[in-house]
Homo-oligomer: A and B are copies of this chain.
C-alpha cells in the first residue's frame, strides 16, 4: 500500500450534551454521512489531546497530534502566529502577538482592536513602529497581520519568553504592566523591555498621521499596542526527518499554518481558506486531493467548528459540521488506498464557550486498519471503538505504524 496519510482536524469539534437538542452533542445531532463513512470504514476511539483532564490550548494540542511533546516543544504562542503569516523567524528570536488598540489619555483600553483596523492604515502604522521604535541593545521588528493584528520580533541576547501579557483581554481596563514569570535576570530584563516598547509605541502611534486622519473621520485611533503570547523560537526536528514523510498543511488560520511550519510542513495556500465561518471548505478539500500527488502526509484543518463553540452557537456548529462533512465527501473514496484520520484538537463545548478537556472522537480509516463496528463519528459512540482511549501523542506513531513506517524497537 501507499504510505500516504490525510489527517483531518476539525477545531474544537468535541462538545458536551446540550439539553435543547435532546442532550445530544452537536456532532450527535448532525447529518454527516462522510464522517460516519470514515468511522464505519475505520477503527474508532476517543483521544485526550494532551492528557485526561488537561484543557489544551490549540497550539500545544496540535504539537501533540503531530507527535511533538508539548511539554518539551511548546514555548509560547507568538512564534506560531509569526510563522503563520510567513515571517522568517530566526533561532533565538523572541516573538509576540500584538494588537493595534485604542486607549484614552489614562491608557485605559477603549477598544482592544481599534475598530478592527486593517488594510493600509494597519500596514502603515506597523511600518512606522518598525522604523521609529528603537531600543539600544536589541533589534525590534514589527509586522502587520490580519486586521488589527501583528507580530513583534525582538532579537538580542539574554531574553526570556516567561513574561506576562500587557493585553488586559477586555475593554475598559488599563494596559497591563508586563511582569517576569520566573525569577531569572532574563525574564526581568525582557519585562522591562516590553514595558518600554509599550510606552514608546503609544508615543509614536499617538502622533501618527494616520491617526490624525482617522480622528478627523470620526474613527477610533489605533494609538496603542497590546503585547501578548511571548514565545521563544528554536528550530526543532522536522516531520520530514523524523517520520520520513513529505508533509503539508492546508489551513486558513495563521496559528495552524504556523504550527505546521514549526514542525517543518509546507503550507499550501488555498484561495478562500480563511479560518472563518465563510471559509471555502470545498476548495480546501480539493487542494487536499491535489496535494496527494506530491505529499505523503496532508494535514487538513477546519477552524469554524471552534468559532461556533466559542460563540456558544450549537445550531451554527451543527451547520458547520454538515458543511465540512459535505466537503469531505470528495475524499472518502481515498480510504481504499490511503489512511484518513479524522479528529479534533480539543473540545469547545457550546455551553462553556471555551476549550474543555473532554476527550475528542477519533477515527482512522484505510487499508490494513482493524475496522471495528462503530459506524458514527461521535464522541460517545467512538468511545466504544477499537482504539479505546488514546492520547494526542499516540496518534502519529499509530498512523505511521499502519503505513509501516515505524521501526522495530529492540530485536
Interface set of A (CB-CB < 8 Å, partner B) = 16-17, 23, 25, 46, 50-60, 70, 74, 76-77, 229, 349, 351-352, 354-358, 368-373, 379-380, 383-391, 394-401, 404, 406-411
Whether B53 lies near A397 (C-beta < 8 A) is yes
Residues of B within 8 A of A379 (CB): 370
- How far is it, in angstroms, between the C-alpha of A397 and the C-alpha of B356 when the chains are bound? 11
Q: How far is the CB of A12 from chain B (nearest CB, A)?
A: 12
Residues of B within 8 A of A356 (CB): 401, 404, 406
- How far is it, in angstroms, between the C-alpha of A218 and the C-alpha of B394 when the chains are bound? 54
Whether A57 lies near B390 (C-beta < 8 A) is no
Residues of B within 8 A of A59 (CB): 410-411
- How far is it, in angstroms, between the C-alpha of A373 and the C-alpha of B60 when the chains are bound? 32
- How far is it, in angstroms, between the C-alpha of A333 and the C-alpha of B401 when the chains are bound? 38
Instruction: Name A's interface SS.
Output: loop
Whether B410 lies near A77 (C-beta < 8 A) is yes
Residues of B within 8 A of A389 (CB): 387-390
Residues of B within 8 A of A398 (CB): 52-53, 357
Interchain residue pairs A-B with the least CB separation, the first 10 = A53-B397, A388-B389, A57-B410, A52-B394, A60-B410, A357-B401, A77-B411, A53-B398, A383-B386, A57-B411
When A383-B388, A394-B53 are in contact, do A404 and B372 touch as well, CB less than 8 Å?
Answer: no
**Which of B23, B54, B409 has a CB less than 8 Å from the CB of A371?**
B23
* Residue in A53, A58, A355 whose Cβ sees the most chain B Cβ within 10 Å: A53
Q: How far is the CB of A48 from chain B (nearest CB, A)?
A: 8
Whether B56 lies near A229 (C-beta < 8 A) is no
- How far is it, in angstroms, between the C-alpha of A355 and the C-alpha of B409 when the chains are bound? 10
User: Can you give 9 contacting A-B residue pairs, CB < 8 Å?
Assistant: A17-B369, A17-B371, A53-B395, A57-B411, A59-B411, A60-B410, A357-B406, A372-B380, A389-B389
Whether A53 lies near B383 (C-beta < 8 A) is no
Whether A400 lies near B53 (C-beta < 8 A) is yes
Whether A53 lies near B16 (C-beta < 8 A) is no
Q: How far is the CB of A215 from chain B (nearest CB, A)?
A: 33
Whether A51 lies near B370 (C-beta < 8 A) is no
**Which of B60, B386, B400, B404 has a CB less than 8 Å from the CB of A352?**
B404
Whether B408 lies near A57 (C-beta < 8 A) is yes
- How far is it, in angstroms, between the C-alpha of A4 and the C-alpha of B388 when the chains are bound? 29
**Which of B17, B70, B354 has a CB less than 8 Å from the CB of A368?**
B17
Q: How far is the CB of A254 from chain B (nearest CB, A)?
A: 13
Whether A406 lies near B53 (C-beta < 8 A) is yes
Q: How far is the CB of A79 from chain B (nearest CB, A)?
A: 11
When A17-B368, A17-B371, A388-B388 are in contact, do A409 and B54 touch as well, CB less than 8 Å?
Answer: yes
- How far is it, in angstroms, between the C-alpha of A56 and the C-alpha of B397 when the chains are bound? 12
Residues of B within 8 A of A349 (CB): 368
Q: How far is the CB of A257 from chain B (nearest CB, A)?
A: 16
- How far is it, in angstroms, between the C-alpha of A121 and the C-alpha of B14 when the chains are bound? 63
Whether A409 lies near B53 (C-beta < 8 A) is no
Whether B53 lies near A370 (C-beta < 8 A) is no
Whether A55 lies near B406 (C-beta < 8 A) is yes
Q: How far is the CB of A25 from chain B (nearest CB, A)?
A: 8
Task: Closest B residue to A78 by CB, please name it.
Answer: B411
Task: Closest B residue to A25 by CB, please name it.
Answer: B370
Whether B390 lies near A52 (C-beta < 8 A) is yes
**Which of B70, B357, B368, B384 has a CB less than 8 Å from the CB of A410?**
B70
- How far is it, in angstroms, between the C-alpha of A368 and the C-alpha of B358 when the chains are bound? 10
**Which of B77, B404, B409 has a CB less than 8 Å from the CB of A50?**
B409
Q: How far is the CB of A283 from chain B (nearest CB, A)?
A: 28
- How far is it, in angstroms, between the C-alpha of A207 and the C-alpha of B391 when the chains are bound? 59
Whether A408 lies near B52 (C-beta < 8 A) is no
